Amino acid sequence: MARAFTPKVVTANDLLEGDVIYQTEDDSWSRDLSEAELITDEAHAQVRLLDAARQANKIVGAYLADAIAGDKGPEPTHFREDFRRTGPSNYAHGKQETSPQPRV
Amino acid sequence: MYRYSEFDTAFLAERNAQFRAQVERRIDGSLTEDEFKPLRLMNGLYLQLHAYMLRVAVPYGTLSSAQMRQLALLAEKWDKGYGHFTTRQNIQYNWPKLNDVPDMLDALAEVGMHAIQTSGNTIRNVTADHFAGAAADEVADPRPYAELLRQWSTDHPEFQFMPRKFKIAITGSENDRAVIKAHDIGLQLVERDGVLGARVIVGGGLGRTPMIGKELSEFVAFDDLLAYLEATVSVWNQIGRRDNKYKARIKITVHEHGIDAIRAKVNERFLQVRPQFKGADMNLLEEIKGHFAAPAFREASVASFESAYTNDPVFRSWVDTNIAPHKNADHAIVTISIKKHGQTPGDATAEQMRVMADLAEEFAYDELRISHEQNVILPHVHKSDLPAIHAKLKEHELATANIGLISDIIACPGMDYCALATARSIPVAQEIATRFEDLKLEHDIGHLKIKISGCINACGHHHVGHIGILGLDRAGVENYQITLGGDATETAAVGDRTGPGFAYDEIVPAVERIVEAYLDLRDSAEETFLETYRRVGMAPFKAVLYPEARANAA
């Protein structure tokens, strides 16, 4: 039996900046995971991933990442995605510099 | 120091112009990412977790002060004010923007540097003993040969699309500081009947299948060596496995075919290849050797050094730990630790790079080295200059006396930066260093090498650490496996796994228990951790790591 679909967000890296970005419902890209579109339907997820892949001159390496609904929007379920939305732990660089992303 | 010829300069300018055009075509949409990716990787540009990463080659780890200053400029102008020195003697910039990379490469070319073949399935930056040309124990300086290999391997038409990457290391000493037995090819310069040549080791490597290299030939004279290496890489290029990325490295080829069969194939291929080498390479080597002539070592009294050594305990501790013997008795080799307790191993700020460049220019015949252990070396220093160097280093947090000690940790970037990582390494290194600094035990523990990788690819050399730590993702949680008894030197060995791994918050206490056990078990303060481990074996360390297992068995 296929595994049950778990909620996802579409994420990628920005072509020019290289930083982590998330697809929003209005089809733009946000630097903030909490603004991402949380996708709960598998077919819709595939459509949104295709939407992202078509923007090859803006983004790199789009994929579906697991996320769950939190108080302020989607939150990561895996520590890798937690690092991606925050930045490295040895310096306050990356997204920590611009918009605080407290690690839970 | 190698100075670029007109050919080198023109080649690099053309290559950089090509890459600039490729970046433009990627940005205007003419190239897809699938088309662009192999092109950027050929020029050292990765896309990591949070940003692009540019990996710049420091060929055989040698830099001039002008080059070091340029690395500082890149860090300041196009990055976040620092660079990360790696276990392949490269420097990585963690935050460049795609648009800026062509300018960064042009700036590097101004000082004869590049990022070519720091990635991809090519022959990578050739690494060398970081004490080359200075060590008291070497047969010859291996760097001229390393430079010859750089020129031979760069854009070599036969070796651009190999089964996998290929790494070569070279040393001129019996004491192996270049980890030659963990490379695809390791070369040890040896002299036989007055002829200089190399012992050739093949099929070593770390990663998911760690192997200690085997001897392919005990001696190949220099005038045959390039043909012999070409034959070796060529045999692997032909029969190495392309069906499975994890079985593609030459270590697997050697393992599957056996060293004797590989030797026979190499010898056969060598006979075909040899006539193509008509001596031009040897003429070139002679010319390159001129670039690496030893400086005219100055003569002066060492009295000021001796007086500082006697009177200043902080200086004495630094000398005892960070200074190695030089082939000229009045000189010394200085290893500058860029691993102050709690700092990221291998990171140097732009300001620190400039300070080290200034010291090299003023006191060290304008030479610096990067070690695979992620430190910076002033290879030639007159002993009378050591107090002044130490004083300057202290002002810039570069005077930590910890070389070869427990806080002199190799750590890969891990999950903090690397897209391949499965767990963090940097914070583990930071916490181990800080913990043992707090305990004030470091100098009592003595020679102990901890090496940490954040994934199975083993950039942090964990297999050959006296204590190796491997970070993994176990069901969505960071988990750290420990190996003991690894050795990166001429007595190379792959460490043994202790057993089940430890959670992130358990790994530092686990290391502490291992070290406490060692302090209890050692014969005397002179017996190193590795010697003790080899004498007593795994059992007593397992007992302290997994006390519950013993309780359950009882």
> Do residues B488 and B544 share a domain?
yes
> Do residues B80 and B152 share a domain?
no
Output the pLDDT for position A59. 96
Going by pLDDT thresholds of 50, 70 and 90, the confidence category of residue A102 is very low
Please tell me if residue A56 touches chain B, with a CB cutoff of 8 Å: yes
A89 with B96: Cβ contact below 8 A: no
- 3-state SS of A7-49 is CEEEEEEECCCCCEEEECCCCCEECCHHHCCCECCHHHHHHHH
Nearest to B415 among A15, A56, A80 (CB): A80
Q: Identify all chain B residues contacting A96, using CB atoms and an 8 Å cutoff.
A: none
Nearest to A78 among B33, B96, B476 (CB): B476
Q: Identify all chain B residues contacting A93, using CB atoms and an 8 Å cutoff.
A: 50, 80, 94-95
> Do residues B149 and B262 share a domain?
yes
pLDDT tens across B447-463, in order?
A: 999 999 999 999 999 99
How far apart CA B339 and CA B401 sit, in angstroms, is 10
In a domain? residue B126: no
B424 CA: distance to closest CA in chain A (Å): 9
> Do residues B154 and B221 share a domain?
yes
Going by pLDDT thresholds of 50, 70 and 90, the confidence category of residue A71 is very high
Output the pLDDT for position B36. 97
Count up the domains in chain B and report the number: 4
Residue among B201, B235, B195 nearest B218 (CA):
B201
Suggest the residue from A68, A80, A97, A101 to mutate for an interface test with chain B (most B CBs closer than 10 A): A80
> Do residues B154 and B286 share a domain?
yes
Given a contact cutoff of 8 angstroms between Cβ atoms, the answer to whether B327 and B64 are in contact is no
In terms of CA atoms, which chain A residue is nearest residue B431? A90
In a domain? residue B120: no
B379 CA: distance to closest CA in chain A (Å): 30
Output the pLDDT for position B160. 86
Given a contact cutoff of 8 angstroms between Cβ atoms, the answer to whether B158 and B209 are in contact is no
How far apart CA B125 and CA B2 sit, in angstroms, is 15
Please tell me if residue A76 touches chain B, with a CB cutoff of 8 Å: no
Question: How many residue contacts between A and B have a Cβ separation below 8 Å?
Answer: 74
**Would you list the DSSP string of B3-71?**
---HHHHHHHHHHHHHHHHHHHHHHTTSS-HHHHHHHHHHTTEEE-SSSEEEEE--GGGEEEHHHHHHH
B8 CA: distance to closest CA in chain A (Å): 30
Kindly report the CATH number assigned to the domain that includes residue B526: 3.30.413.10
Point out the domain boundary residue: B340, B360, B395: B395
- Find the chain B residues whose C-beta atoms sit closer than 8 A to any C-beta of A: 26-29, 32-33, 47-52, 80, 94-99, 344, 415-417, 424, 426-427, 430, 473, 476-478
A15 with B50: Cβ contact below 8 A: no
Output the pLDDT for position B161. 86
A20 with B49: Cβ contact below 8 A: yes
N residues, chain A: 104
Residue A1 scores a pLDDT above 90: no
B207: DSSP letter:
T
In terms of CA atoms, which chain A residue is nearest residue B98? A16
> Do residues B152 and B208 share a domain?
yes
Interacting residues of B373 by C-beta distance below 8 A, sequence separation 6+: B87, B130, B408, B410
Interacting residues of B527 by C-beta distance below 8 A, sequence separation 6+: B535
**pLDDT tens digits for chain B (554 residues)?**
889 999 999 999 999 999 999 999 999 999 999 999 999 999 999 999 999 999 999 999 999 999 999 999 999 999 999 999 999 999 999 999 999 999 999 999 999 999 999 998 999 989 999 999 999 999 999 999 999 999 999 989 999 889 999 999 999 999 999 999 999 999 999 999 999 999 999 999 999 999 999 999 999 999 999 999 999 999 999 999 999 999 999 999 999 999 999 999 999 999 999 999 989 999 999 999 999 999 999 999 999 999 999 999 999 999 999 999 999 999 999 999 999 999 999 999 999 999 999 999 999 999 999 999 999 999 999 999 999 999 999 999 999 999 999 999 999 999 999 999 999 999 999 999 999 999 999 999 999 999 999 999 999 999 999 999 999 999 999 999 999 999 999 999 999 999 999 999 999 999 999 999 999 999 999 999 999 999 999 999 999 999 987 666 65
Nearest to B47 among A13, A56, A80 (CB): A13
Please tell me if residue A95 touches chain B, with a CB cutoff of 8 Å: yes
In a domain? residue B131: no
Quote the ipTM score.
Answer: 0.94
A56 with B80: Cβ contact below 8 A: no
In terms of CA atoms, which chain A residue is nearest residue B53? A18
In terms of CA atoms, which chain A residue is nearest residue B423? A80
Q: Identify all chain B residues contacting A60, using CB atoms and an 8 Å cutoff.
A: 33, 47
Nearest to A93 among B28, B80, B427 (CB): B80
Q: Identify all chain B residues contacting A90, using CB atoms and an 8 Å cutoff.
A: 344, 416, 426-427, 430
Output the pLDDT for position B1. 81
Output the pLDDT for position B236. 97
pLDDT tens across B293-325, in order?
A: 999 999 999 999 999 999 999 999 999 999 999
In a domain? residue B501: yes
Please tell me if residue A94 touches chain B, with a CB cutoff of 8 Å: yes
B452 CA: distance to closest CA in chain A (Å): 15
In a domain? residue B118: no
How far apart CA B335 and CA B279 sit, in angstroms, is 38
> Do residues B76 and B167 share a domain?
no
> Do residues B179 and B284 share a domain?
yes
Q: Which residue has the tokens 């290194």?
A: B429
B338 CA: distance to closest CA in chain A (Å): 15
Q: Identify all chain B residues contacting A95, using CB atoms and an 8 Å cutoff.
A: 50
Task: Quote the Cα angle for B257-B262-B263, to 5°.
Answer: 145
Output the pLDDT for position A3. 79
B80 with A91: Cβ contact below 8 A: yes
Q: Identify all chain A residues contacting B97, using CB atoms and an 8 Å cutoff.
A: 16-18
B95 with A93: Cβ contact below 8 A: yes
Output the pLDDT for position A104. 40
B430 with A80: Cβ contact below 8 A: no
Nearest to B50 among A15, A61, A87 (CB): A87
Kindly report the CATH number assigned to the domain that includes residue B56: 3.90.480.20
In a domain? residue B296: no
Residue among B216, B235, B237, B229 nearest B274 (CA):
B229
Point out the domain boundary residue: B395, B420, B449: B395
Q: Identify all chain B residues contacting A61, using CB atoms and an 8 Å cutoff.
A: 33, 47
Output the pLDDT for position A99. 61
Point out the domain boundary residue: B395, B419, B443: B395
Output the pLDDT for position A97. 86
Whole domain around residue B157: which residue ranges? 142-291
> Do residues B152 and B286 share a domain?
yes
B101 CA: distance to closest CA in chain A (Å): 11
Output the pLDDT for position B549. 75
N residues, chain B: 554
Instruction: List b or e across B223-253, with b for residues whose CB sees 16 or more CB atoms inside 10 angstroms.
Output: bbbbbbbbbbbbbbbebbbeeeeebbbbbbb
In a domain? residue B122: no
Q: Identify all chain B residues contacting A80, using CB atoms and an 8 Å cutoff.
A: 49, 415, 473
Given a contact cutoff of 8 angstroms between Cβ atoms, the answer to whether B205 and B183 are in contact is yes
Output the pLDDT for position B550. 64
How far apart CA B92 and CA A88 sit, in angstroms, is 15
In terms of CA atoms, which chain B residue is nearest residue A77? B476
Output the pLDDT for position B548. 83
B417 with A88: Cβ contact below 8 A: yes
> Do residues B256 and B202 share a domain?
yes
Q: Identify all chain A residues contacting B428, using CB atoms and an 8 Å cutoff.
A: none
> Do residues B192 and B259 share a domain?
yes
Beta-ladder partners of B189:
B198
In terms of CA atoms, which chain A residue is nearest residue B45? A18
In a domain? residue B175: yes
Given a contact cutoff of 8 angstroms between Cβ atoms, the answer to whether B162 and B240 are in contact is yes
> Do residues B349 and B454 share a domain?
no
